[in-house]
Amino acid sequence: MQAVETTPSLDPAAIERAYRRERARRRAKVEHRQYARNSNARYWVAIALIALITVLLALMALREIQTSFGILQ
C-alpha cells in the first residue's frame, strides 16, 4: 500500500479563494454579533415605546371618563 501524500495546493488562485472565504466567514461572524447586540437594544426601545403609548392611552381614557361623569373640577 502506498501512502497518499496530501500536499497543500500551490495554486495562487486557490490560496486567494481560501483567504477570501475565511475573510467572508470572519466578516459574517462580526456582522452577526453586531446584529445580536443591536437586537437587544431594539427590544428595549420597543418595550419603552409600548409602555409610553399605554400610559398616554390610559391618561386620555381617564380624562374622557372625568369629563363624561363630571368629575373634573
Give me the residue spans of the domains in the chain.
Answer: 12-73
Q: What pLDDT, on the 0 to 100 scale, is given for residue 69?
A: 86
- CA–CA gap between residue 47 and residue 54 (Å, rounded): 11
Q: What pLDDT, on the 0 to 100 scale, is given for residue 4?
A: 60
* Residues 9, 15 contacting (CB under 8 angstroms): yes
Ordered mean pLDDT values, 10 residues apiece, the chain (73 residues): 63 88 95 91 96 97 89 67
Cα angle 32, 47, 53; round to 5: 140
Q: What pLDDT, on the 0 to 100 scale, is given for residue 5?
A: 64
Q: What pLDDT, on the 0 to 100 scale, is given for residue 1?
A: 53
* Residues 19, 13 contacting (CB under 8 angstroms): no
Cα angle 40, 32, 28; round to 5: 165
pTM for the structure as a whole: 0.56
